[in-house]
Structure 1
Amino acid sequence: FPPMITLHPQSPLPVLEGSPASFSVMATGMGLTYQWQVDTQSGFQNLPGETNATLSIPAASMGMNNNKYRVVVSGMGGQPVTSNEAVLTVLPIIPTFPPAITVQPQNVPPVSEGAPAVFAVAATGTGLTYQWQEDSGMGFQDMPGETNAILSIPAVSLGMNDYKYRVVVSGTGGQPVTSHEVILTVIPTFRAPVIKEQPAGKAVAEGGMFKLSVEASGLSLTYQWQVDTGSGFVGIPHETNRSLSVPSVTKAMNGFKYRVVIANPGNQPVTSEEALLTVYTVPSAPVNVSAAAGNGQAVVSFTAPVSDGGSVITGYEVTASPGDKVVSGTASPITVTGLANGTAYTFTVKALNEAGGSAASAPSNSVTPYAPSSGGGGGGGGSTESSTPTPTTPPVTEVPAGDGADILVNGKTERAGTLKSSEVNGQSVLTIIVDPKKLDDKLASEGQHAVVTIPLAKDKKADVLIGELTGQMVKAMEQKQAVVKISAGDIIYTIPAEQINVSVLSGQLGNPASLDAIKVRIEVAAPSKETLKIVENSASTGNFTLVAPAVNFAVTGTYGGATVEVSRFNAYVERMIAIPDGVDPGKITTGVVVEADGTVRHVPTRIVNVDGHYFAKINSLTNSTYSVVWHPVEFKDVAGHWAQNAVNDMGSRMVVSGVDTGTFNPDTAITRAEFAAIMVRALGLKQEKASAPFSDVKAADWYSAAVQTAYAHNLIVGFEDGTFRPSDKITREQAMVIMAKAMKTTGLRDKLPSKEAAESLAPYADAAATAEWAKSGVADCLQGAIFAGRTATELAPKASITRAEVAAIVQRLLQKSELI
């Protein structure tokens, strides 16, 4: 019979170093022989002399850990057979060590009555146990139940002032040891609250949201907002947080005053400064409207409204009837051209301000445009001067007629657009021009936070899709905190109206008399052939693979032949790029921006599934050309390291780089310049070219642009002597302050509940070592779970931070901000 294994060797339970181990095999067949083999990570080799059915190892060594064993069984009746592999696991013999205190309990700063107090010890040894003791004046006594390394007293009383505490640490390896004594100092009251940032009054459009906030220092603070509606301040029920929001203000609230009273135990409350609410509304209607006819036109005169609604009137709209032709102007009179001679017209006028348009005025007198007479007439033969007034405003250019286009407001379809097609530089262009009146009416009915979607119909194809609005439309959307989306099916561009910042755009265009005169175009486009070549060259140079077509995003404002691009935003703006069919979503690393010079930078990207289709959701602070890439990176020296996944993920996303090809040096402390550069790349910031205002950062330095960018985005400030000290090792508290500022950029800081810094720092015995200027930022990082202490009781604010730690905290920031 041929040899046949009936029972394969089995991996034994882990054995201690020096203990025996064995493996066995059972087989059938004639004339069986056995040869055991071992694999010590370099392939299986025969074990000399090991030719029995059982392999016995008298004393396993640590060098044998993870060795693999198998046996080859031969016989007279057929080919040899090889058993399954079995793995030997060897555990070290753990020695016992006597208890030793490495960090003694520390005296804490004076604690206010009713506040918590925490003491902590750190020790080494085997089988440690703890027993805290208290001396209230009668000698030290054990504290029942206080058997952890940390002693927490939830609320101290004045009677506990000058109590002493110590801890006895015991273990299985030697005699108990007793810590140093610490003294608890209890003060009778909390420090009085101090207001650091007062609430500020604002002007808000009727129906808009009014927000106030206050920043104050102190422990156990309580807040009570008050309002004065004209008869003195009274408390606002349930408004007991550090911020106040009034969702929809009314005209009757104009002139209301707000303030907040902040209190804590044992102190007199402090009251903030008053904040004035100014509510502006649409103006009243113009009056005394009259019209005078001319050849194909009419001159409409009127008197300005009695009330401007609390906001400066920015222009007027004249509507002709019949025909509903609308002409804009900045003052009376306004000439309406393009009228039909022989047709009787009346005109109404609306006044415009930041809140919108007034009600229409009463109709003007009826006038009929006429063609001038061609006859000579009698008399002196001279020409007769027309009595029609000269227009004082330029005629409005009519938009050529096109197909109607649907606009969605909060998902509800409205035929509120006109579709125009053209060809520019060899690319097909579709422009959807949104009707101001229809959108304004729709926004009025939908209220705050509306989403206006400008979609490309499924039966339309184009290289470039443009959504066109007026500056006044964008301003109205901004006041209602609306969002505009350009949707081209595979590409969705979402931008809050406030990020367009039409007021700044108007200033850059010379402050036109009316925002209606500004055309705001939001564009998504396939790159030109020249740009596409740059993208492809960058992919080749950067060793990454393009997995989705590149897309160009742009926002521009145009007036009087001048065009200004909105290239930078104050908050992240979202873009969605569809992942093509057949592309494995698991083989997508990140989105990138490709600049005109070929420079490539990471932008925070996460892959999402929308109705069964995968999209790359990209968030960025700038416009440019975007694509999605596959760029896997693995550093050989982080294999098995605790931060392996974070380091390789951030390397693949082009956020961190190695010290050379394939090497990261994870446990090396990082410098301030390196940290600034990583933060700039992590947030996807476009690097600035100007020089940073630090005496020790030169334009030629490799980190100059990164430091300047971090400074421009308020991530860093440098030292009081005007230096940045780029080569210094960054400390944990310095890194946490920068990270806390990044949390504001990503929006994560706003999601944290209000909490005093002292409360977050309380568990750490060395918290007092944290610099005063750093405490708020350190607390934000701890509360947001971006950073943690080195141990449960050690914060180590002055310690350096390693490259691996930086990769982990940057990944954590982006994940918790829901950017990756």
Structure 2
Amino acid sequence: MKPAVMRKTAQVTAVMLIISILLPVLAFAATSGFVTDPKPVYKNGRVTGSVYSDVYADVYSQVYFYSPDGSQVSTTQAVYSSVYNGVYTYTFDRDAIGSGYPYLRMKFEPLMNGAVYASVYETVYRTPTDSGNGGSGGGGGGGGGWSASESISVNSDGSVNADQLDKSLNQYDEVTLTLSGDAALLPAKALKNYTGNTKKLLKIKNSNGQYNLPLSVLKLDDLAGKVSTTVDDLIVKVSIAKASQSISDSVYAAAQALGGSVASNIIDFNIVGLGKDNKTAALDLGNNYLSRILPTNKSVDASKATAILYNETTKKLSFVPAIFSSSDATIKRNGSSVYAVIEMNKSFTDISGHWAEGYIKLLANKLVVDGATDTLFQPERGITRAEFAALVVRSLGLDTSSTSTSFKDVSSSDWFAGVVGAAVNAKIIDGYEDNTFKPNNQINREELAAMVVRALNYAGAAPAANGTSSLAKFKDANSIVWAKNEIAVAVDAGIIDGMTNDTIGPRQTATRAQSATMLKRLLVKANFINE
């Protein structure tokens, strides 16, 4: 765009024709925006460009500039340039912003009679040949553009250069981002071409831990819609930050109340989308369990240690799937939260010498099973459908905040409403034909085996089905009512044993000890705990 209307008739006509091509619909709608042909330019710390509006904006109308983390870094006046067909064009020019950002978010707010008429946004990326080497933008130095790298260093502001990230992912299946701060701000435009490739993985790490992000789990269109922006303007923020002091104090207190001790830092692992006006939305991971690595403060015993999730609302701790090494825990979950590692040494007076003693102690230390009292487990007592649903939901680390179900015998005020809702959403449990769940009925071995196999399906760890031939050795297999396939899978996978060498006992009620045994085998099969 020219800075002013030319005096010569031919030049005026040319300018008007260009504007009519660039902005063909503006005369028919109340709109404002950034002129994108030519696009705004960010080079050597200076941003120049043009904006338009269908109202004559006050002289104090501004263009605002924001860093990738959402902080306002500068502002400048939009200066009137020309008008055609009721559309007013303004230019802006802001120097001395600095070259330390891979891109800037811009906002134009035309004023009419002192009031904001509209707020419109645009992203301007730093010219790759920019001579400034502010260093942010992920491994940046100046000059010569960006090259592909398996490892990108990210400065404390979190900004990652879209061009470098795109080139790196194009060349390498795994790219590591090493953070100086607590977060990485990933331009979605650099990720969108790789979300269909299950091999593409970002490893994002700092001194607090590491987040492994498979690009195939990203639903960028959905996330952009939630934050009112486009994929090209969407930022995916991945943060690995120490929890606040108040949260840390609450975790220590909760661990102590359980008789445990904290064995790691308390870290908030989070992924959100950033959009217009810094609007945020959580990334929906479905049933994709992402791995995050949390260093431990010491070597821990995997049978006594557990990774925990801290619930800020209830201030309680709950089990999270994790595999332990000598120096860290690889935590697996399909959601974001505050995590830590604690150690427990729980036992019960009535399980000494019991065939399931080891399983019960292990899962009690993992916060998966509870005692009937502080000192008694009652291993041979029966277990209800609601109680076992709660154990399966805990084993998978599912969110139980929703208490809405369609079962007419499950009220939102029932203690099990949240776990039943979570289990239904994960397709782990079914109701009866009369639309009841019968939560207080004793669960039988057929129902228990079916729930466990469905839980394995949800975790993406279901073993291949080999038909029902493995049931032939059980003389009571014909008493299996509806779950022959599930029981066969459970037998093949070593999840369920026969009651004797030739009986499976599908209609017998299950005990708390049998439930703990199946849950332990489920967790090992899903690679959610150490063997």
TM-score, shorter chain, exceeding 0.5: yes
Tell me, in whole angstroms, the C-alpha distance in 1 between the residues paired with 2:272 and 2:453. 33
Checking the alignment, whether the CA contact within 8 Å between 2:261 and 2:343 is kept in structure 1 is: yes
**What secondary structure is seen at the aligned counterpart in 2 of 1:335?**
coil
Question: 2 CA distance for matches of 1:525 and 1:713?
Answer: 30
SS in 2 for 1:637: coil
What does 1:390-429 align with in structure 2 at a 5 Å threshold?
Answer: 390=89, 394-397=121-124, 402-404=134-136, 405-406=138-139, 413=149, 419=155
* 2:348 alignment counterpart: 635
| Alignment correspondent of 2:466 | 755
CA distance in 2, matches of 1:584, 1:771: 45
Q: CA deviation at 1:813?
A: 0.8
The answer as to whether partners of 2:150 and 2:175 remain within 8 angstroms in 1 is no
Larger RCO: Structure 1 or Structure 2 (Cα < 8 Å, ≥ 6 residues apart)?
2
Residue 711 of structure 1 and its aligned partner are, at CA, apart by 1.4
Write the distance in 1 (CA, Å) between the matches of 2:325 and 2:202. Answer: 21
Which position in structure 2 is the counterpart of 1:571? 288
Q: Residue 268 of structure 2 aligns to which amino acid in structure 1?
A: N
Residues 458-469 of structure 1: pairs in structure 2 closer than 5 A = 460=180, 462=181, 465-469=182-186
In structure 1, the partner of 2:218 is 500
SS at match of 1:697: coil
Partner secondary structure for residue 570 of structure 1: coil
Structure 2 CA distance, aligned partners of 1:818 and 1:384? 64
Structure 1 CA distance, aligned partners of 2:36 and 2:268? 43
5 Å-filtered alignment, 1:322-721, equals 333-337=37-41, 385=82, 390=89, 394-397=121-124, 402-404=134-136, 405-406=138-139, 413=149, 419=155, 430-446=156-172, 450-456=173-179, 460=180, 462=181, 465-481=182-198, 482-510=200-228, 512=229, 514-561=230-277, 562-566=279-283, 569-581=286-298, 583-585=299-301, 588-597=304-313, 598-609=315-326, 614-721=327-434
1:770 to 453, 458, 480: 480
Counterpart AA for 2:404 = S
Letter matched to residue 503 of structure 1: D
* Aligned-pair CA distance for 1:533: 2.5
Cα distance change, pair 395–721 in 1 and its aligned pair in 2 (3 A): closer
Establish whether residue 740 from structure 1 lines up as the match of residue 448 from structure 2: no
Correspondences of 1:123-138 after superposition (within 5 Å) = none
The separation in 1 between residues aligned to 2:324 and 2:352, in whole angstroms, is 26
- 1:433: how far off? 2.2
Whole-Å Cα distance in 1 between the matches of residues 372 and 496 of structure 2? 25
Q: Secondary structure at the match of 2:195?
A: helix
| 1:712–1:586 distance in 2 versus 1, CA, 3 Å | closer
Per-residue CA deviations over 1:699-733 (Å, capped at 9, x if unaligned) read: 23222222122112211121110111111111111
Q: Is residue 816 of structure 1 aligned with residue 529 of structure 2?
A: no
Question: Compared with structure 1, are the counterparts of its residues 302 and 336 closer, same or farther at alpha carbon in structure 2 (3 Å cutoff)?
Answer: farther
Decide whether the 8 Å contact of 1:301 with 1:333 is kept in 2: no
**Compared CA separation, residues 808 and 335, structure 1 to 2 (3 A):** same
Q: Tell me how far 1:645 sits from its aligned partner.
A: 0.1
Counterpart of 2:503?
794
CA apart distance, 1:643: 0.5
1:254-283: CA deviation from partner (whole Å, max 9, x where unpaired): xxxxxxxxxxxxxxxxxxxxxxxxxxxxxx
How far 1:504 sits from its partner (Å)? 1.8
**Structure-1 separation of matches of 2:287 and 2:349:** 39
Equivalent residues in 2 for 1:143-154, closer than 5 Å: none
Is the Cα contact below 8 Å between 1:637 and 1:665 reproduced in 2? yes
Distance 1:782 1:508 in 2: 44
> Partner letter of residue 520 of structure 2?
Q
- Which aligned pairs between 1:243-322 and structure 2 lie closer than 5 A? 292-294=1-3
Task: Give unpaired runs (5+ residues) of structure 2.
Answer: 5-14, 23-32, 45-79, 91-107, 109-119, 127-131, 141-147
Note the C-alpha offset of 1:537.
2.7
Cα offsets for 1:14-34 (capped at 9, x unmatched): xxxxxxxxxxxxxxxxxxxxx
Q: Distance in 1 between matches of 2:122 and 2:422?
A: 45
Q: What is the match of residue 369 of structure 1?
A: none
Q: Which amino acid aligns with 2:329?
A: A
Gap regions ≥5 residues in structure 1 = 1-291, 305-328, 341-382, 420-429
The structure-2 alpha-carbon separation of the partners of 1:532 and 1:500, relative to structure 1 and needing over 3 Å to count, comes to farther
DSSP-derived class of the 1:480 partner = coil
- The code of the aligned residue for 2:389 comes to A
CA contact (8 A) 2:351 2:357 kept: yes
Q: Distance in 1 between matches of 2:274 and 2:515?
A: 44
SS at 1:396 equivalent: strand
Contact 2:323 2:331 in 1 (8 A): yes
Q: What secondary structure, in the 3-state scheme, does the structure 2 residue paired with 1:688 have?
A: coil
Cα gap change, 1:550 to 1:788, in 2 (>3 Å): same
CA contact (8 A) 1:416 1:435 kept: no
Specify whether residues 526 and 486 from structure 1 end up closer, same or farther in structure 2 by C-alpha distance, changes over 3 A only.
Answer: same
- 1:593 & 1:746 partners in 2: Cα distance? 18
- Partner amino acid, structure 2, of 1:739: V
Q: Is the 8 A contact 2:291 2:331 kept in 1?
A: yes
Q: Matches of 2:285 and 2:311 in 1, distance apart? A: 14
Tell me which residue corresponds to 1:807. 516
How far apart are residue 623 of structure 1 and its match? 0.8
Q: CA RMSD in A?
A: 3.3
Report the TM-score, using the length of structure 1 for normalisation.
0.48
Letter in 2 for 1:515: V
Deviation at 1:332?
6.8
8 Å CA contact retained: 1:491, 1:575: yes
Cα 1:641–1:437, aligned 2, differ >3 Å: closer, same or farther?
same
Aligned CA distance change for structure 1 residues 780 and 588 (closer, same or farther; 3 Å):
same
Number of aligned residues: 428
SS, match of residue 334 in structure 2: strand
- 2:42–2:124 contact (8 Å) kept in structure 1: no
Higher strand proportion (structure 1 or 2): 1
CA distance in 1: counterparts of 2:439 and 2:122, whole angstroms: 59
Per-residue CA deviation, residues 232-275 of structure 1 (Å, 9 max, x unaligned), is: xxxxxxxxxxxxxxxxxxxxxxxxxxxxxxxxxxxxxxxxxxxx
Quick one: distance in 2 between partners of 1:635 and 1:384?
81
- Counterpart contact for 1:418–1:435, Cα < 8 Å: no
Does the 8 Å CA contact 1:570/1:621 hold for their aligned counterparts? yes
1:688 Cα deviation from its structure 2 partner: 2.5
Deviation of the 1:601 alpha carbon: 0.7
In structure 2, C-alpha distance between the alignment counterparts of 1:571 and 1:677, rounded to whole Å: 20
CA contact (8 A) 1:594 1:601 kept: yes
> Quick one: distance in 2 between partners of 1:783 and 1:775?
12
Instruction: Quote how far apart the aligned CAs of 1:337 are.
Output: 4.2
| Contact residue 252 and residue 261 of structure 2 kept, 8 A | no
Question: Partner residue of 1:16?
Answer: none
Tell me: CA distance 1:700–1:608, structure 2 relative to 1, closer, same or farther (3 Å).
same
Q: 1:802 to 1:385 in 2, by over 3 A?
A: closer
Taking the aligned partners of 1:569 and 1:662, their CA distance within structure 2 comes to 38
Q: Within 2, Cα distance between the matches of 1:467 and 1:620?
A: 20
